[in-house]
Amino acid sequence: MKKSGILNRHLSGALAHLGHTDLVVVCDAGLPIPQGPAVVDLAFRAGVPSFAEVLTGLLDELEVEGAVAASEVREANPDCAALLTGRLPGLELVPHEEFKALTGRARLVVRTGESKPYANVALRCGVPF
């Protein structure tokens, strides 16, 4: 049995399938998820687990070379905007409609229980060398 890192077997297994340039979307409970990407739904109750908690766990395990979020996050959810810009230098901001379209190109979507608006980010996988 794993004793550290991501213990959820579905999420851990999905992460092991990712490769360079694959997109992983970490989203709040309200983001519409299109048909196509694999989905690991971690939502339990409103706010649980939080977007910040899940993002932190993923960033501990993934090599990320780029990230995209909706520009609306700056005004609608300043705490999330601060988290994203603090953890993801070079974060690209696009209109929310463009972000939703990007979600359809993701290899994996990780849905959190977050109930604050625009708590979404697309992470582009890098390589550790």
Per annotation, catalytic residue among 7, 13, 17, 20: 20
| CATH 3.40.1650.10 assigned to 20-125 | yes
**pLDDT, position 110:** 98
User: Does the annotation place 119 within a ligand binding site?
Assistant: yes
Residue ranges in the chain modelled with pLDDT below 50 = none
* Residue 11 to residues 78, 109, 112, Cα–Cα distance (Å): 28, 10, 12
Q: What is the pLDDT of residues 45-72, one digit of tens each?
A: 999 999 999 999 999 999 999 999 999 9
pTM above 0.75, yes or no: yes
20 catalytic? Reply is: yes
Domain extents in the chain: 20-125
Alpha-carbon span 23 to 60, nearest angstrom: 16
Beta pairing partners, 42: none
Find out whether 17 is annotated in a ligand binding site.
no
Residue reference for tokens 């196509």: 36
